[in-house]
Structure formats: structure tokens, C-alpha cells
Structure 1
Amino acid sequence: MRTRVAASAVCMLTICASVSHSSELQLFAWPVACELGTTCFIQNYVDHDPSDKTLDFRCGHRTYDGHDGTDIRLPDLADQRKGVEVVAAASGRVAHTRDGMDDVSVKVLGKAAIAGRECGNGAVVEHENGWSTQYCHMAKGSLRVKPGDRVNSGQALGLVGLSGNTEFPHLHFTVRYDGTVVDPFAEGAAKGECNSGRSLWQPTLDSVSNYRPTEIINVGFADRAVTMDEIETGEIKQSPPGSHSAALVAYVRAIGLQAEDEQAIELRSPEGQLIAEYRAPKLPRDQAQYFVSAGRKRGGSAWPPGAYTATFVLRRKGAEIERRSFQVDIAP
């Protein structure tokens, strides 16, 4: 039930630049047409640690070694197939583009097949005063700009995809100043430093800077046992339970889990009776993502009608840090 989530862009620099003159600071709009925390989530931040260890801008580990951007992921491939726009984070000129790479997980293709093209389909936009932004892993055939085009802040560049060195649908977004990587959450933070620096997000994006050490990105019910692949593809959403389903299963997927985290999920009948539960063992190590489920096979000719409720609880160092309840209505 666990898996490593990896994503990479062309450049793997980890140095964070500090801009000499505050007047030159470039502020950025959110580069994906989504609602953070609801229809998209941050999987990885910039790695601030110069060694082989990891450190994000809030002294956590929501990153991996050498990661040079912000990974803005969609909940699953079903959402990606609907078409989610990648937009210019600031006005500027398109310097480089690539298109034509297939939207296939690197787990299928292998890293050798995308060597030198880890960014996948993407674009680089140059802004004023030495700033630039890079947009990676976009959908094949979706790019709407070409080198030399002028773009405005918020203008669509293409769609979120699965091209290049990635296992999940997302945008890898990198900010650079004079060619050096800058963390847009912590401009000016020195190497190895966290809880410092300035946000480069526009003032209207205050919620973007609200650091989320752990997030729930998928919840639902199914009529059978659930796998991680079915959650990732979104296929499991095509199997909702009904009154005559052979089983009733609730599932939750979270990201940013830490070693020793404790997860529990329970399922209750319309009358409030506990009908299934699962308490996962403490995690032996940090996990980029993890899912748990609890379910039960149908005992009679049909499931009693009504609202079935699932509750997921995540505890860290003895304290409850996440709780989510959700329901499914079973008709007669």
C-alpha cells in the first residue's frame, strides 16, 4: 500500500538565490488553474539541503534530494484527462518549448527512454530583470505557445500531463533568477536554511503559503478491494457500491506521511454500528503517499439502505493531526 513518488525536471540545482534589490523582486501567480487543497495539491517543495539529505522551506521533508521546483499534482489521472490548464505565472516571452512526448509514467517507460528530456513536454518563460519560470510534464499536444511568443500572467500555456520523468499527473514549476533556482516560498533563504526568506507569490495567494505537512488527496467508496493503481488512474471511481454489491469498501489516500505515523479507518452502518475497521501498523519510514481501506462483504441479499459513514484518523507523535469523515448513500 505504499509507493515512492518521484518527479524531476531538466535542471537539478538546489541553490536558492537571494535578490540584491527588493525593487527587482518578481511576484508570481499560481501556475495551475486549480484550487490548492481541493482540486490540486503540493506533492514536493524545493529541496534546501545541499547534502544528500532533504529539507523543505518549513524545515520538513516534503521534497526529495536535489528537487529544484514545486510539484503541483492532481488527485488522479481521471482529473488530468478532463484538461487542467497550466498558466504563465507572470508576463514575459517564451524562450523554449518541447511537445510530442507521450503521457506515460516513467515506471512504464524507464528512465533511459526519457534521458535528457526529464522535463517532458514543457516551456520556459523569461520575465524582466533576470527572472524565468519553467513548466514541466505537460500533456502531449497541449502546448499553446511557441518560442518568441509574448504571454500575459494567467495566460494558458498548455495542460497538466504525465510526460517525462514522472509517475503522477502534475506540473513541476521552477523559478530561476539569473539562472539560479529560487524557492518561490522562501526567496533569500540560504542553503541549508529553513523558516526564512520571502514569499514570491502574489498577495492574493496568501493561502498558497499555508504549509501543509500532510494532506488527504483521495477518499471514496468502492464495491470491491481497492489498489493504489486504481486510485491513481481514477478507475476506482467507476465502481461505486450499490445495494447488491458483493462488498462495501472505504478508502483514503494521503501524502506527506512520516515515520511512526498511525492511520486508522472505520466504516459504520446507517444506524451507527461499526461494520469494518483497519488500523495500519506504524509507518517504518517517511512515505510520499500511502492509502488505507476498510470493508466488508455483503452478508445478506442486499445492503440495508441509508448513509454509510467512513472516518479516517491520522495520529502523529500521539496527537491527532487529520480526521476526515465521508459518506455514501445506498438506495433500496
Structure 2
Amino acid sequence: MRAPLFIAALAMTTQAAPAGPPELVWPLDCVQGQTCYIEDYVDADPGPGQADYTCGLKSRDGHRGTDIVLRDFAMISAGVAVRAAAPGVVSAMRDGMEDVAVTAETRAEISKQGCGNAVRIDHGDGWQTLYCHLKKGSVAVRSGDRVDAGQQIGLVGLSGLTNIPHLHIGVLRDGVVIDPFAPEHTTRCGAPDGPGLWAETPIYHQTGFITAGMATGVPSFDAVKSGAARADTAHPSEPLVLYGHFHHAQTGDVLTLSADGPEGEIFSHSEVLKSPNASQFKAFGRKAPPGGWPEGAYRGIARLTRAGELIAWRHADIEVTSQ
């Protein structure tokens, strides 16, 4: 779903003057917990499996950056500025890739340019930051440009290996991936040895979604965990069900499961979690109306909030067809 850290075959230019570790400012025009949240961190597990810098679950195997996810797809159209996290010199950029969600059919081709439209900034002394999945035509800098911290360099898009609106920001030192939350760690997780690279450390929540999917009936937990529950198509006469599989929710968190189709909303259900388990799933849906569902594309949204604060969300798509 998200891109590798490096941009292949992009021209390098003059490097910034040597400096110490960069101090990073928040790189998006969004407010954490309101219009965006951090979904994935650098994978601190050197082997198979994944762990974020706290030894939590909020990473993916081999993930090489921090993913900041926008509240919804509409924010792409509105335009959300991506900003340089620290001063430096633009060492590479790419623009022109379409903002199209990756699919199983397009993954292999898009993988060649998985970061999508992107900017790489050199901060000196071997330090670089990389900004992936920018909106087509939005890149506002060119190789060789000197930028200040907070300067706009593009807009969030849907280019490269992604199907959700987000910024992937990566940090490197001499080509080695560095977790800005625990820069002293390269092959382990746990309590950081010292402060991270952020000027103001973003909030960390261990709660998140493992997956969400659309199904044609209420699935078993085993089917959810194995992926067998997910349906890509449904007959107009079949029920439509959205499920969300999540981890480390807290008592009082609110789970909302909703879905829209060609004629608008088909259901919306919210519930307060009373005694959540470390890992669990919930599902909600509707039987087909008389005459069946209109054919076309349907999208479900699973969302977790805590005291009004956005913690996580996932989407799932299904096509209703009589074929």
C-alpha cells in the first residue's frame, strides 16, 4: 500500500552544507487527531514481522518511514500542503504520475516508481528526508532549490504505491533508514535512548486497524484474520457488510462503520466499545432492498475515535454487479 523509501534514477545535485541531525517540524497542513493521524512507523523489527519504535503493532514488515494519513479522500481535492520538515537543498524530485489508487493489477508496474511524485531534501552531514505520494502537478520545487523548514514543496496526492491519502516521510543518514522517533535505534524497538528528531514529538497511539473489508455476510473472526472474508464483488440480491479488525482499542472508544453506494449512504452504525480485547473485529451491514442493490461501486469506511479525536480509519470497496 505504501512506497519504498528510495526514488530510483533521480538526478542528484549540490548537497547542503554539513550540519548536525535535522530538527523536524510537522510536514503537513493538518492537525493530528482532527484532520490526520499517524498510521505506520518505521519497522524496528530486523526480521520477519513488524514492530514500531515502542514495540507496538503500528508498522508493516520492512516499512521505511512514517505514514501520516489524511481524514478522508476529499482532502486531496481540497489540497493539503506538504512542507519541508527541515531546511536544506532539494536533491531530487519527480512529478507527473497520476493520482490513481494502486490495485492488484497495477502493483507490479507502479512498484518501479513506488514513491510516486516525490521530493528528496539534503540537510547536510549525510541527512536526507523524502516525501512520497504527492499530487500530480503539485511539486513546487526543483533540484538545486534551497528550502526553509515549513516551506511548501507540494500537495498530498494518491500517486505511487498507495490507496489511501497520506504522506510517507522518510529520514536517512548516509543511506540508512532512521526512525525520527528513535534515531539511536536501527535494529530494535523499545524505549528510545534519547529525544527524537522532532521539534515537538507527535502523539503516539498504540490503537489502530489491522484491516477492514466488505463482505456479503457477517464473517467469522478466522475468515477476517485470514483474508477469506473479503469480497470484491456482490450480486444485487446479497447483503452488504463492512467489518473492521482493530487492535488495542480502549474502553470508551467509538467505532463507526458506514457505507455509501451509487445512490448515497446505505448504512451508518456507531457504537461505544465497552471492554475491548487486544485484538477484535466488529461488523455491520444491511440486507439487499427489494429489487436489489443498484449496480456500481460501494465504499465502506471504518473509523475509530477517542473523545472526539481521530485515531484511525480504513476503507474497503466492493462492486455490485449481476454479471
Q: CA-to-partner distance for each residue in 1:115-172, whole Å, 9 max, x for gaps?
A: 3200000010001221110000000000001111111110000000110000101110
> Counterpart in 1 of 2:166?
170
Structure 2 spans left out of the alignment, 5+ residues: 8-18, 210-241, 257-268, 288-301, 310-323
Query: Partners in 2 of 1:195 and 1:253 — Cα distance?
Result: 33
Question: Are 1:201 and 2:198 an aligned pair?
Answer: yes
Distance 1:291 1:75, change over 3 A: farther
> Counterpart in 2 of 1:157?
153
- Percent identity between matched residues is 37
Question: Are 1:52 and 2:48 an aligned pair?
Answer: yes
Question: Are 1:39 and 2:45 an aligned pair?
Answer: no
> Counterpart in 1 of 2:2?
7
Pairwise CA RMSD of aligned residues? 4.0
Question: Are 1:257 and 2:257 an aligned pair?
Answer: no
Query: Partners in 1 of 2:53 and 2:206 — Cα distance?
Result: 11
Report the 3-state secondary structure (helix = DSSP H, G, I; strand = E; otherwise coil) of the residue aligned with 2:90: strand
Structure 1 spans left out of the alignment, 5+ residues: 1-5, 13-22, 217-251, 267-275, 297-311, 315-320, 326-332
Instruction: Give the TM-score of the pair, scaled to structure 2.
Output: 0.64
Distance 1:286 1:144, change over 3 A: farther
CA contact (8 A) 1:130 1:178 kept: yes
Distance 1:122 1:37, change over 3 A: same
Distance 1:152 1:65, change over 3 A: same
Report the 3-state secondary structure (helix = DSSP H, G, I; strand = E; otherwise coil) of the residue aligned with 2:50: coil
Aligned partner of 1:257: which letter?
F
Instruction: Give the TM-score of the pair, scaled to structure 1.
Output: 0.62
Distance 1:292 1:76, change over 3 A: farther
Aligned residue runs from structure 1 range 184-223, under 5 A = 184-197=180-193, 198-202=195-199, 205-206=200-201, 208=202, 210-214=203-207
CA contact (8 A) 1:9 1:136 kept: no
**Runs of 4 or more above 3 Å deviation:** 259-266, 276-280, 282-287, 290-296, 321-325
Aligned partner of 2:98: which letter?
D
CA contact (8 A) 2:5 2:65 kept: no
Query: Partners in 2 of 1:27 and 1:124 — Cα distance?
Result: 16
Per-residue deviation at 1:104? 0.6
Distance 1:55 1:129, change over 3 A: same
Distance 1:163 1:291, change over 3 A: farther
Q: CA-to-partner distance for each residue in 1:236-279, whole Å, 9 max, x for gaps?
A: xxxxxxxxxxxxxxxx998x92289998769xxxxxxxxx8879
CA contact (8 A) 2:207 2:249 kept: no
Aligned residue runs from structure 1 range 241-252, under 5 A = none
Per-residue deviation at 1:324? 5.6
Report the 3-state secondary structure (helix = DSSP H, G, I; strand = E; otherwise coil) of the residue aligned with 1:115: helix
Q: How many residues align?
A: 240
Distance 1:61 1:313, change over 3 A: closer
> Counterpart in 1 of 2:59?
63
Q: CA-to-partner distance for each residue in 1:270-314, whole Å, 9 max, x for gaps?
A: xxxxxx88799x999969xx8865899xxxxxxxxxxxxxxx998
> Counterpart in 2 of 1:81?
77
Aligned residue runs from structure 1 range 90-105, under 5 A = 90-105=86-101
Identify the structure with the greater helix proportion.
1
